[in-house]
Amino acid sequence: MMLSQAFTLLQPAAEKTAAAAPSPPPPGEGSPSDIAAAGLRRALKEATAEIEAPTKTAAQASPLDQLTKLAASVVEDEHAATIKEAQLYGAAVCDGFMARLAQYDEAAQKQAATLPSTKVASTAPTDDFEKFASANPEIVREAHDLGYEQTKADLYKLAEAAWLYGHNGTVQWIHKTASDAFIAGFADTARLIEAVR
């Protein structure tokens, strides 16, 4: 019995409801104040008695666990809905792009149809080059050598620039790491000297 129940026992009989009213005492047991005192003692005894902690069974779950599961379910559903919405939006944008590209293609085909047709001479560049190379071998050799030397010089310049960039970056990283270690060691040493004093 709780203290609130004990106080309801002490209230006058007029204020009690039929459900809360204790059973009337047998006749000849005592005055109303004795009955109230006995009820108060009984209520205090029940209130101060050890209360058994309710034991949880596997079927019982706390409201916090249920609320956490519900919140996780809502978050998962919202995430799935957001992904679905993003997929639908992406598909709509892609369809729009494809429709616009089809319009551009159609306009380009119409424009090409209105232009006068020009005959494109079929040239075989390999045949022409082979004829030119067989007729002028020294010019082809000079062009080859010039291209080779120019490409070789450009590759050397690129390699040197890449090496310098990597070297300078490594030196800067080493310097930063060393200065950080020096500063940390200096601070530790100063703290140790201060602790010894």
Predicted pLDDT of residue 123 = 52
Mean per-residue pLDDT for 74-92?
A: 91
Q: What is the average pLDDT score of the chain?
A: 79
Angle between helices 125-135 and 137-196 (to 10 degrees): 110
pLDDT in tens, 67-77: 888 889 999 99
Between the two ends of the chain, the Cα-to-Cα distance in Å is: 66
Contact 3, 47 (CB under 8 A): yes
- 3-class DSSP state for residue 90? helix
Predicted pLDDT of residue 110 = 87
Give the percent of the chain with pLDDT over 90. Answer: 30
DSSP for 94-131, written as a single string: HHHHHHHHHHHHHHHHHHHHHSPP-PPPP--HHHHHHH
Angle between helices 3-10 and 32-48 (to 10 degrees): 180
Task: Give residue 46's pLDDT band: very low, low, confident or very high (50, 70, 90).
Answer: confident
Please work out, in degrees rounded to the nearest 5, the angle formed at the alpha carbon of residue 60 by the alpha carbons of 58 and 63.
135
Predicted pLDDT of residue 175 = 93
Its pTM stands at 0.28
In whole angstroms, what is the distance from residue 138 CA to residue 136 CA?
6
Q: Given a cut of 80, is residue 103 above it in pLDDT?
A: yes
Positive or negative torsion for Cα 84, 86, 92, 95: negative
From 27-41, 50-64, 152-166, 169-183, the region with the lowest mean pLDDT: 50-64
CA-wise closest residue to 123 among 114, 135, 132 = 132
Q: Given a cut of 60, is residue 53 above it in pLDDT?
A: no
Cα distances (angstroms) measured from residue 194 to each of 24, 108, 181: 83, 82, 20
Q: Given a cut of 60, is residue 134 above it in pLDDT?
A: yes
Task: Give the DSSP letter of residue 53.
Answer: P
